[in-house]
C-alpha cells in the first residue's frame, strides 16, 4: 500500500515509492528508495512538492514491506488523478512475467523474426502484383513474435541491434513491432491486444511500397513536394489493408502513427487524446527504433542517448505518460548500451531487471585497469548487495572505445580475433 504526503512530511526511514514528477531528470532511482539521511530529504524538497510512500495495512507510512507487495515499477496502478490523465490502461491488467532466460529465448526469437520476414515477403509480392494482400500469415508470424516477447522481451531487444542499413525497412518494421509489444506487455495488455499492437506496428510503413524506391532511399534533403509524397504512405497503407481482415485497432495504428501529441503530426493533425491510444504507443516505438538504427541517410545513435531524445519530446510529440512507461519498460540503460561502473569496469547491457530498473544484467568487457577481459564476465547488478558500491556510473559512447556493442552479440563465452584485437588496441 502507499499514500501521497507533502514532501515536508517525509521522515527518515520511509520508503519513497513514487514522485509527483518523472523520475528521469532527478537523482533518484526509478524503483524507489529508502530515505536514509537528511541529504535525501533535501533533494526531495528541491525536486518535488509531494511523494508517495509505502504504508502499512492501516494506511500509515512505514519502512517495512507488506507481504506479497509488488515493486511499483512492475505494477500498472496509479492514483485516480493519474488514471484520468493516463487514459487507456487495460481494464483488467495482466501481470506478465519472464518465464525463460534471455539466452534460452534467443533462438526462438530469431525464428520468430525469420517467420515475420517470410510473411512480409509474401505481402510485398502480393502488393507488387496488385493482388489483395492476405494477412493470415502475418497474423500467425506476429503471434510467434508476441509469444517470444511474453517469455522474455530482452531476446528481441538484443536481436534488434543486429541489422544493417541495406535491410533497414524490413528490420525497422520487425523491431518497431517487438518494441511496441514489449511496451504493451509492460502495461499489462492481454495477448489479443498485444497481437493487434504487433500487427499494426508491423504494417505502419506498408504504404511506402507504393512510392518510388528512389524517394524512400534518398540521402539528401527532400523538397516540399517529396515530403508531401512521403506522407501519402499513410493513405496508401490504409487503402492496402482496410479490406484485408484486420481489426479496427490495427487500422487506427496505420492511419495515425504519425500524429503527434501537440498536433504537429500528419495526416489529420490530430492532437492529444484524440489520437487512438495504440497509435500513440506505436509512435514512441517507431521513433526510438528509427533513431537507434543505421539508415541510408543517417547513422543511429546509442540507445541511452535515444532515451534522452525521447524524453525531450515527452509532452510535445509524444504523450508524457507513455514515454515514461516506455523508459520503464526498455530501461534507462537499454540493452546494447555501453556503461562504466563505479568500480571502473566497462560492460555492455545484455538484459533488464524488471524489479530493479537501474540494475540491469551486464557483460563486462574491460576490467578496472582498462584491460580487456577474456573471457567476458557476466554480472547481474540486480543480485549485488546494495552496500557493495557497484553501480552504473555513466553510459559511454561506442565511438569512445572504437568498438560496436553489436560485436558482443552472443559472444560471452567466445571472442573473435577481430574483437580481441580492437580491445587490445583500446587498452
Q: What is the pLDDT of residue 79?
A: 37
Give bridge partners of residue 362 from the DSSP assignment.
349, 379
Tell me the three cell numbers of residue 182.
514489449
Long-range contacts made by residues 292-300, C-beta under 8 angstroms, separation at least 24?
Answer: 293/163, 293/165, 293/168, 293/171, 293/172, 293/175, 294/163, 294/164, 294/165, 294/168, 295/165, 295/168, 296/165, 296/168, 296/217, 296/219, 297/218, 297/219, 297/220
Domain boundaries, the chain: 2-69, 102-330, 338-426
Determine the Cα–Cα distance for residues 40 and 57; give it in Å rounded to an integer: 26
Q: What is the pLDDT of residue 337?
A: 85
Segments of 280-409 assigned E as strands: 338-341, 346-351, 361-366, 372-380, 392-396
Q: What is the pLDDT of residue 297?
A: 63
Beta-sheet pairing, 392-396 with 372-380: unpaired
Q: Is-contact 358 332, C-beta < 8 A? A: yes
Tell me the three cell numbers of residue 361.
544484467
Determine the Cα–Cα distance for residues 71 and 18; give it in Å rounded to an integer: 11
Spatial neighbors of 376 by CB under 8 A, at least 6 apart, are 363, 364, 365, 408, 411, 412, 413, 415
Q: What is the pLDDT of residue 3?
A: 83
Q: What is the pLDDT of residue 296?
A: 63
Q: What is the pLDDT of residue 13?
A: 80
Q: Where are the alpha helices (DSSP H) in 292-344?
A: 303-312, 320-330
Determine the Cα–Cα distance for residues 53 and 218; give it in Å rounded to an integer: 53
Q: What is the pLDDT of residue 255?
A: 97
Q: Is-contact 356 306, C-beta < 8 A? A: no
User: Which letter, b or e, does each residue of 168-192 get, where b requires 16 or more Cβ atoms within 10 Å of its Cβ?
Assistant: bbbbbbbbbbbbbbbbbbbbbbeee
Which helix H or strand E contains 19, and what residues bound it? strand 15-19
Q: Which residues of the chain have pLDDT under 50?
A: 63-85, 411-417, 419-420, 422-424, 426-427
Determine the Cα–Cα distance for residues 3 and 57; give it in Å rounded to an integer: 11
What's the longest Cα–Cα distance across the chain? Answer: 70
Q: What is the pLDDT of residue 205?
A: 92
Q: Is the four-CA dihedral 289, 291, 294, 297 of positive or negative sign?
A: positive
CATH class of 102-330: mainly alpha
Amino acid at each position: 500500500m502507499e499514500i501521497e504526503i507533502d514532501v515536508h512530511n517525509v521522515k527518515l526511514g520511509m520508503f519513497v515509492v513514487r514522485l509527483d514528477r518523472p523520475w528521469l531528470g532527478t537523482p533518484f532511482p526509478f524503483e524507489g528508495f529508502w530515505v536514509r539521511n537528511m541529504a535525501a530529504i533535501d533533494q526531495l524538497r528541491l525536486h518535488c512538492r509531494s511523494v508517495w510512500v509505502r504504508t502499512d495495512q492501516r494506511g500509515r507510512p512505514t519502512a517495512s514491506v507488506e507481504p506479497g507487495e509488488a515493486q511499483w515499477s512492475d505494477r500498472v496502478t496509479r492514483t485516480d488523478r493519474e488514471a484520468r490523465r493516463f487514459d487507456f490502461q487495460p481494464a483488467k491488467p495482466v501481470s506478465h512475467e519472464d518465464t525463460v532466460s534471455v539466452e534460452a529465448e534467443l533462438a526462438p526469437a530469431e525464428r520468430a523474426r525469420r517467420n515475420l520476414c517470410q510473411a512480409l515477403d509474401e505481402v510485398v509480392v502480393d502488393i507488387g502484383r496488385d493482388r489483395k494482400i492476405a494477412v493470415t500469415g502475418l497474423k500467425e508470424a506476429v503471434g510467434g513474435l508476441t509469444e517470444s516477447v511474453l517469455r522474455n522481451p530482452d531476446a528481441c531487444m538484443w536481436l534488434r541491434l543486429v541489422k544493417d542499413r541495406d535491410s533497414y525497412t524490413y528490420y525497422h518494421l520487425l523491431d518497431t513491432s517487438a518494441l511496441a509489444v514489449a511496451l504493451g506487455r509492460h502495461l499489462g495488455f492481454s495477448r489479443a491486444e498485444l497481437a493487434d499492437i504487433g500487427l499494426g506496428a508491423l504494417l505502419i510503413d506498408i504504404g511506402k511500397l507504393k512510392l518510388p524506391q528512389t524517394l524512400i532511399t534518398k540521402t539528401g534533403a527532400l523538397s516540399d513536394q517529396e515530403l508531401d509524397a512521403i506522407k501519402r504512405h499513410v493513405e496508401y497503407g490504409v487503402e492496402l489493408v482496410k479490406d484485408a481482415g484486420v481489426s479496427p485497432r490495427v487500422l487506427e495504428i496505420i492511419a495515425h502513427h504519425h500524429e503527434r501529441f501537440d498536433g504537429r503530426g500528419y495526416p489529420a493533425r490530430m492532437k492529444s487524446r484524440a489520437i487512438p491510444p495504440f497509435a500513440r504507443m506505436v509512435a514512441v516505438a517507431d521513433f526510438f527504433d528509427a533513431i537507434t538504427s543505421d539508415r541510408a541517410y543517417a547513422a543511429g545513435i546509442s540507445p541511452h542517448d535515444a532515451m534522452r531524445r525521447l524524453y525531450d519530446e515527452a509532452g510535445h510529440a509524444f504523450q508524457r505518460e507513455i514515454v515514461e512507461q516506455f523508459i520503464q519498460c526498455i530501461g534507462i540503460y537499454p540493452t546494447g548500451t555501453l556503461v562504466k561502473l563505479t568500480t571502473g569496469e566497462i560492460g555492455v547491457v545484455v538484459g533488464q531487471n524488471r524489479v530493479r530498473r537501474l540494475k540491469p544484467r551486464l557483460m563486462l568487457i574491460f576490467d578496472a585497469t582498462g584491460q580487456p577481459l577474456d573471457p567476458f564476465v557476466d554480472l547481474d547488478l540486480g543480485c549485488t548487495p546494495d552496500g557493495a558500491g557497484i553501480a552504473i556510473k555513466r553510459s559511454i559512447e561506442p565511438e569512445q572505445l572504437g568498438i560496436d556493442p553489436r560485436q558482443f552479440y552472443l559472444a560471452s563465452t567466445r571472442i573473435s580475433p577481430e574483437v580481441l584485437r580492437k580491445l587490445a588496441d583500446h587498452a
